[in-house]
Amino acid sequence: MENNKTLSLLIILALIAGVALGYYYPKNTEKKVIESIQPVAISDNPSITIATINQKDNSFDINAQYPQFTLADSSFNAKISNIINEKISEFKKNSEDNLKAVKETATAENPAPTDWQFYFKADWTPVQINKDYISFVVNMYYFSGGAHGNNEVYAFNYDLKNKKEITFNDFIGGSQETLKAISSLATKDVISQRASFGEPEKTVKKELEEGGTSPDAKNFNEFTFSNDTLTIYYQKYQVGPGALGMLKSSFDKSSLEKQSITSKYFK
């Protein structure tokens, strides 16, 4: 019950921060602002600092926020920060390159667009944050030119007691058999999600087993976990066409145990 209250409070704090950011952007400037949230006054949860990056001018509209944890190792916090900042730098370069290319090939019949506003947004959602573990996901959406925008997802997991990041291999105890079992479950789940597109199940199954849900740990790098649920997030195009959007697969502890899948990170 305390964990649920904690998670609810953290989500509310993150939403409040996001709403507040939506009302104000510095004009024609770029800066990184660090806003501190006081340690959560429930149990002995780690304190959280929310980092925000805002820029709004004639070219870019950037709004990103991500957490930093005072009880976690500095390398874990740096990894979170670096991914966000690297993605923003990549987005800005791609936007500028795309606009330059369009202008260079523009003609009187097909003039360069004048209304492109390059947009980047990143926000985070906590799954569990307590005295033992940190588990959360960052969702990004950006438009850097072209017909449509793009999405990316990154998940982070950390063991506070042992001061180390939790990889997917850690979560499954390095077991190849467990990896194969989760791969099979993920394949079945994605097939069911793609059924509405009318694709032949046999074709989809072969595609997934050879690609996005094959028993390769890197296919499941983006995952979060709670006391009783494992969630796997797929990058766009990883498990199907872009029209599918961003898919994920969630498995509760009891259903995993029926497949002889266990983890020391489940309570």
From first to last of its 267 residues, what are the pLDDT tens digits of the chain? Answer: 545 444 454 544 444 444 333 433 333 333 333 333 333 333 444 488 999 999 999 889 999 999 999 999 999 999 999 999 999 999 999 999 999 998 898 888 888 877 778 999 999 999 999 989 999 999 999 999 887 899 999 999 999 999 999 999 999 999 999 999 999 999 999 999 988 777 788 889 999 999 999 999 999 999 999 999 999 999 999 999 888 889 999 999 999 999 999 999 998
Q: Write down the pLDDT at residue 18.
A: 43
pLDDT of residue 21: 38
Q: What is the pLDDT of residue 198?
A: 77
Closest by CA to 186, choosing from 216, 146, 228, is 216
Give pLDDT, residue 58.
Answer: 86
CA distances from 137 to 142, 156, 248 (A): 17, 6, 12
Q: Measuring CA to CA, how many Å separate 44 from each of 35, 37, 47?
A: 21, 15, 9
Joined together, the tokens standing for residue 25 give 């952007």
State the CATH class of domain 2-165.
alpha beta
Say which residue the tokens 């001018």 belong to.
Answer: 57
- List, by residue range, all CATH 3.30.565.40 domains of the chain: 2-165
Give the closest residue to 98 by CA, choosing from 125, 62, 60.
Answer: 60
Residue owning tokens 């740990």: 217
d(CA 40, CA 56): 31
For residue 173, give every residue at least 6 positions away whose Cβ sits within 8 Å of its Cβ, in sequence order, or none.
Answer: 263, 264
Integer Rg of the chain from CA = 21
pLDDT computed for residue 16 by the predictor? 41
CA distances from 118 to 84, 90, 218, 251, 259 (A): 16, 12, 30, 36, 46
Please give the helix or strand (H or E) that residue 94 lies within, else none.
Answer: helix 74-105
